[in-house]
Each structure stands twice: as structure tokens, then as C-alpha cells.
DNA sequence: TCTTATACCGAACGAGCGCTCGGAATTCGA
DNA sequence: TCGAATTCCGAGCGCTCGTTCGGTATAAGA
């Protein structure tokens, strides 16, 4: 485990901030070099700390991975829950969710890349159940939205399961190619994906 | 480097076969545990060889990774080149390519998962240029096909680049969720993807 | 038949790994 | 002001890693 966070109120905020910085830096380095290929000394170099200093903020290298996954999934899941709970129509909900999702992915690009690399561990090790459940809940929220979209007659998928997986695929693949300050904005891209999903490309 | 392959003709075939078996087994283990997380002793256990015996067939653990990537990309690229060189129309070419591609992915499921995990290395390390070039050529073949499809008036994409990346995303994501003997066949799935791409889902 | 290429073994190597811990320097807060 | 809490250091721990190499058993082929 990491050292207990400071009890002195004046230091608590700083501790939390530094810990978050460490997580962000680790996400970047893991994304570039790979989680397993990154040594603790790579991390000390990237953070400017030494081994001891680093372990003041984290419990282990693996905990770092868990924190990265949580920092990625939790806020997205929260937003998704909110969006689905509004009384907007399914298509508008989906558009909003997709824009939020794609924007989230551009912000948490490194976290996504780490998540994609380590997916095999997260999906199979019992110990990663919490992250797996977050991923699954998001997927179910999305599937529910597609179902309501079909029910409303906005679209008829040949196979809703295929459409769902295709959508997950195209969005999750985005960090692999999207350049941060490139030609495409997040909303633009999200709308592009939505058009494909709903068959809005002109024949 | 691996030991030189046997010069005695009677043994050459057996050597090649065993080497291929080693590569297949390694692909499966890497897919499950991750390349870096897999130790050589994991590999010896999975192959039934010991360290010395294993290194009779491979030069290094990293060479194994290279062989896996090549076994994945080369035959697919060959088929893609053939398909694009036929005089079928662009839509039929795309359908054939997609079916071939998805089927290939279901066969080389483990290789794909390894490739996805180690993508960051392959994309950035100079030493992986050959694999990177294969990936790029395939992508360009695909893009050319989409371009001719638009030119033929079969479809008009809002943004062809987005459509290309979306297609790559959905197909490359497939091994993450498709169960080998599940409900969906490869051709069925490929056609599902094509329908999405061309906007053939009924409104 | 007999030499030699081949197949495989498994102990052992150096290197690098993740992580610990005693302590120095600094800062908080009573 | 001064003890306690906190921040960070960095040498070094035990361990596992990928790889090597001297060796034995077997099979090819002249």
C-alpha cells in the first residue's frame, strides 16, 4: 500500500495532487513503453522522484495500473448514467453520449492505450472484477440506448449485437490513430461515427 | 538467432513443423498472459520443451513476437492484394475482402490479440518497420477500395478517413469479444460490418 | 557400420526487476 | 519554538528474468 495520506489538513491537498500527477505521468509512460516493459526506474525518471519518493505515493506498480483504469472509467460511467437518465429522446441521448465519450477518449488518450494493452489481464484475472464491471455497465447502458433507438423506429439494425460491438470497436480504436491537435475534432468524429451507425451516409 | 535449420533433408520438414508449432503455442500463451508477462518457463511448460530445447527453435523471445506478427500479416496481405487485383466491382471486392479478413481474424485470433497488445512497440520502434509497412499497405489497399466505391457512386461518406478508421476499428476489435464457436459466423459478421459501412441498415 | 549432424536437456549466469527501509531535510501546528 | 509529521532519498534486498552451454541420446546417411 501507499503511505497513509497526511493527516495534517494543509498537506492533504498537495499529497493528492502529487499522487494524481504520478498517475498521469505513469499513464503516459505505460502508453508509450507498455506497462510491463516500463521499469520503476523509468517511472522515477519520468516523475523526477526516486524509488523511495515514488513509493510514498503509490503502493505498487500494479496499483498504479488500477488507478489509471479507474481514472479512465469512473468519470465516463458517471456521465453516461446522467445522460441516459435525462428525458431526451434516444437519438439525442446517443449523440450526447457519443460526443462525451469521444471527447473523454481524446483527453484520456494514454489511459485508453494502457487499458487496451492490458485488457487481457483485466478481462480474465478475478482481481480486476471492479474495472470489468464498470466496462460492462457502460456497454449495457449503450446497448439499452440502441434498443430504445430501434424501438422508436429511428433505425433497424440487422443485428443489434453486431452494431453494439462495431460501435465499441470504432470508438475504442480511436486513440490508436487520432492525433491530439489534428484535423478532426471530437464532436465531429463522434457525429461521423453516429452517421455510420445510423446509416446516414448518403447512398 | 535460432540454431541453423538442419541441412539433412529428411529432418528439415520436421524442424519447420515444430518451429511453427512453437510459434502457435507462443501466440496462444502471449494472448492469454501478455507478451512481457509470459516467462520463458511459461513457454517451456506450454510447449513441453525445456529452455535449451526451445532455444533450438527460436533465437529469442522477441523473435517469437516477430514471427507471430508475420504469420498474421503476410497471408492476409497476400490475399488482399489478390482480391484488389481482380476485375470485380468495388463493392464485391470489398465484400470478399471483408469476409476473408474477418475469417482470417477468427483463425488467427491469438495472433491478433498479441498484435493489439504490442501495438505501441510495433508502431514506434524503428526495428519493427517491416511489420508496420505490412499494416500500412493493408490499410492503403482498403482505403483505395473505399475511394473507388465512392467514385462508383455506391456510397458517399461524410469523411472517408473516418469511415476507414471506423472499419479498421470494428474489425480489429472483433477478437476481443467474438467467441470461436459462438452464434455468429465470420461471413455473417463481415456482411454485418459491410451493411453498417454502406448504410444499409433500414431506417 | 560408424561418423557426425541433430534434438533436446537442465544447471547456472549476469542483469535487471519491484520494492524496502533507515535516515536526512523540511514543514506543520501546538 | 520545538517536537512530530511529512517528503523524499538511494543503497541494496531477494528474486526472477532471458539466455547460454556442455553434455547425452538418437537418427541420418556415406
Per-residue pLDDT of chain B (203 residues; tens, 9 = 90+): 577 788 998 889 999 999 999 999 999 999 999 999 999 999 999 999 999 999 999 999 999 999 999 999 999 999 999 999 999 999 999 999 999 999 999 999 999 999 999 999 999 999 999 999 999 999 999 999 999 999 999 999 999 999 999 999 999 999 999 999 999 999 999 999 999 999 998 66
- Length A8 CA → D8 C1' (Å): 18
Amino acid whose CA is nearest the C1' of D20: B52
- Total Cβ atoms within 10 A of residue A16: 13
Q: What is the DSSP letter of B63?
A: H
User: Contact, A47 vs A22, CB < 8 A?
Assistant: yes
Q: Do the Cβ atoms of B172 and A173 come within 8 Å?
A: yes
| CA pair distance A191, A170, nearest whole angstrom | 12
Q: Do the Cβ atoms of B169 and A169 come within 8 Å?
A: yes
On whether any CB of chain B is under 8 Å from the CB of A22, the answer is no
User: Contact, B83 vs B90, CB < 8 A?
Assistant: no
- Lowest average pLDDT, out of A10-14, A83-87, B136-140, goes to A10-14
| CA pair distance B95, B194, nearest whole angstrom | 7
User: Alpha carbon A87 to chain centroid distance?
Assistant: 25
Closest CA to A67 of A9, A25, A8: A25
Is A51 near strand C, with its CB below 7 A from some atom of it?
A: yes
- Length A51 CA → C28 C1' (Å): 25
The mean predicted confidence, pLDDT, of chain A is 96
| CA pair distance B53, B179, nearest whole angstrom | 33
Q: Which residue of B has its CA nearest to A177?
A: B165
| CA pair distance A106, A117, nearest whole angstrom | 17
Give the pLDDT confidence score for residue A11 in this predicted structure. Answer: 87
Q: Do the Cβ atoms of A119 and B31 come within 8 Å?
A: no
- Length B116 CA → D11 C1' (Å): 39
- Residues of A numbered 48-67 whose beta carbons fall under 8 angstroms of chain B's beta carbons: which are they? none
**Where residue A5 falls among pLDDT bands split at 50, 70, 90?**
confident
Please report residues of B whose CB lies closer than 8 A to that of A31: 120
Amino acid at each position: 500500500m501507499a503511505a497513509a495520506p497526511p493527516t495534517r489538513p494543509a498537506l492533504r491537498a498537495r499529497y493528492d495532487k502529487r499522487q494524481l500527477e504520478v498517475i498521469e505521468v505513469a499513464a503516459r509512460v505505460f502508453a508509450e513503453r507498455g506497462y510491463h516493459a516500463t521499469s520503476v526506474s523509468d517511472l522515477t525518471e519520468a516523475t523526477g522522484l526516486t524509488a523511495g519518493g515514488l513509493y510514498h505515493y503509490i503502493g505498487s506498480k500494479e496499483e498504479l495500473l488500477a488507478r489509471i483504469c479507474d481514472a479512465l472509467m469512473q468519470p465516463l460511467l458517471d456521465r453516461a448514467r446522467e445522460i441516459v437518465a435525462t428525458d431526451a429522446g434516444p437519438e439525442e441521448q446517443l449523440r450526447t453520449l457519443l460526443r462525451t465519450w469521444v471527447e473523454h477518449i481524446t483527453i484520456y488518450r494514454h489511459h485508453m492505450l494502457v487499458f487496451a494493452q492490458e485488457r487481457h489481464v483485466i478481462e480474465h484475472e478475478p482481481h480486476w472484477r471492479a474495472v470489468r464491471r464498470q466496462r460492462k455497465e457502460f456497454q449495457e447502458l449503450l446497448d439499452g440506448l440502441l434498443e430504445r433507438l430501434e424501438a422508436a423506429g429511428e433505425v433497424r439494425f440487422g443485428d443489434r449485437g453486431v452494431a453494439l460491438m462495431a460501435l465499441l470497436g470504432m470508438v475504442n480504436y480511436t486513440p490508436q490513430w487520432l492525433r491530439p491537435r489534428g484535423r478532426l475534432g471530437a464532436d465531429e468524429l463522434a457525429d461521423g461515427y453516429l452517421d455510420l451507425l445510423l446509416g446516414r451516409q448518403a447512398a
